Copies of this chain bind each other. A is one copy, B any other.
């Protein structure tokens, strides 16, 4: 993991680290795709979905629950408000969305780790939200703040994760109404990558902003995005007061909201891809537009957390082909609105870091890369449909993200890569290992997996017949053992701790 460590190290240990994590040049603060987006939807198809969404918005409308202020905002903007139901005249939301930036910078406290969200860029962030954690040694249990810190450290150390994320697991050992302090603090303290704020209550959002102001400075935060937040729609066609409250806080402070319909098709949307996409578009447009009414120009991301359910058991399914099609279609819809797009990750319904988990995650992460996703939450660590953060899965997924970096570069064409000198030197029947061209290029040539075993069967037997989960188990423990954190200005650290102590003392613990 040399690339996450301070530069300037030399010699054998730096070379050994390069061998493990790939050539130093491969670590980047985010992916800039050098490959085209893949679009499954035709122009005609996308236009019919857009027309369908316009009808949903105008004829059915959305509900904005228990938030009179938001209803007032919509009324003032020209929407038709009937109780909590809001209907939108055709074209109204598209007009409002014109003030939203198509790309923005999320600043990290280490500016070398700033990420660009939008355009042809792709940012990988870890798993978000699981109450449980698991590893091969201790098995499945509720997450704690120690687990939380561990996942922050693992994301910090991986050259393939660009972002520290948010609720990498729920620290269930802390009271619900105070754990946001420890979560935000851990992101700032144990990593210098960009991170996410709390959305579970408006006052927790305000606390998150306040802590960001301590870390980045008040004026800087007002003028720049330093946090990105996950605002889920309560699909179908509802936004609830918790999410609206958080959205308002962050938009007012110029911090980014990811407005994400959270949909399991068949239950929370129609059982078809085209119908679900229509609903996704309607919900995302309404939520994204609301941020622009609160603060025009505030960064906002079109989100889509979309999968399906088993129509036999009702269980959610992840990494399904329908999920990939939904992701691909939603990406196209977001691009046409000129909004950054969040979706994808390393989804699976599996309970183990087994073949099912890998197959479903690979299917999702490849769709993520090729569909043009800009911000991919849940890129590492997901198990059980998001109920469990897995240590082994985390490093297995991170390895897969490294492969996505290679795919995103596409095929480089130059005199050097065309390699005519190698072909001439070697000729028919020869081999290329010793060719001068190979010697010049082999170090950066191929992705080096930290998990895969490519050895012979005999060598693999001699190495203990480990499967990839067992190798991942060694890997994450080795990473945590060698963790060395980024420096944090002691004045900022003290101020953060003082703020947390004071705020925690000001109200009683509660698990609501």
Residues of A within 8 A of B (CB): 19, 35-36, 38-42, 44-45, 48-49, 52, 55-56, 59-63, 85, 140, 234, 236-238, 265-275, 277-279, 308-318, 320-322, 324-325, 328-329, 349-363, 366, 370, 384-385, 387-388, 396, 400, 403-404, 406-407, 410-414, 416-420, 422-424, 426-433, 435, 437-438, 441-443, 445-449, 451-457, 460, 465, 467-469
Contact = CB atoms under 8 A, between A and B. Distances in A.
A428 B356 contact: no
Contacts of A42: 413
A142 to B, nearest CB: 13
Given A63-B429, A267-B433, A419-B274, A354 B313 contact: no
B275 A417 contact: yes
A314 to B, nearest CB: 7
Contacts of A277: 411
Contacts of A406: 321-322, 325
20 contacts: A38-B370, A56-B423, A60-B424, A268-B432, A271-B438, A272-B418, A273-B411, A275-B420, A275-B422, A313-B454, A313-B455, A322-B446, A349-B454, A351-B457, A354-B354, A354-B358, A355-B467, A355-B469, A356-B453, A388-B457
A310 to B, nearest CB: 5
A423 B39 contact: no
A69 to B, nearest CB: 19
B423 A455 contact: no
Contacts of A363: 362, 366, 403
Please tell me how many copies of the chain the complex holds: 2
A271 B318 CA distance: 36
A468 B413 contact: no
A370 B274 CA distance: 21
Nearest to A328: B411
A350 B437 contact: no
A419 B270 contact: yes
A272 B312 CA distance: 48
A236 B432 CA distance: 9
A344 B404 CA distance: 18
Nearest to A270: B419
A252 to B, nearest CB: 26
A55 B415 CA distance: 13
Kindly name the residue among A238, A270, A325, A438 whose own CB sees the greatest number of chain B CB atoms within 10 A. A270
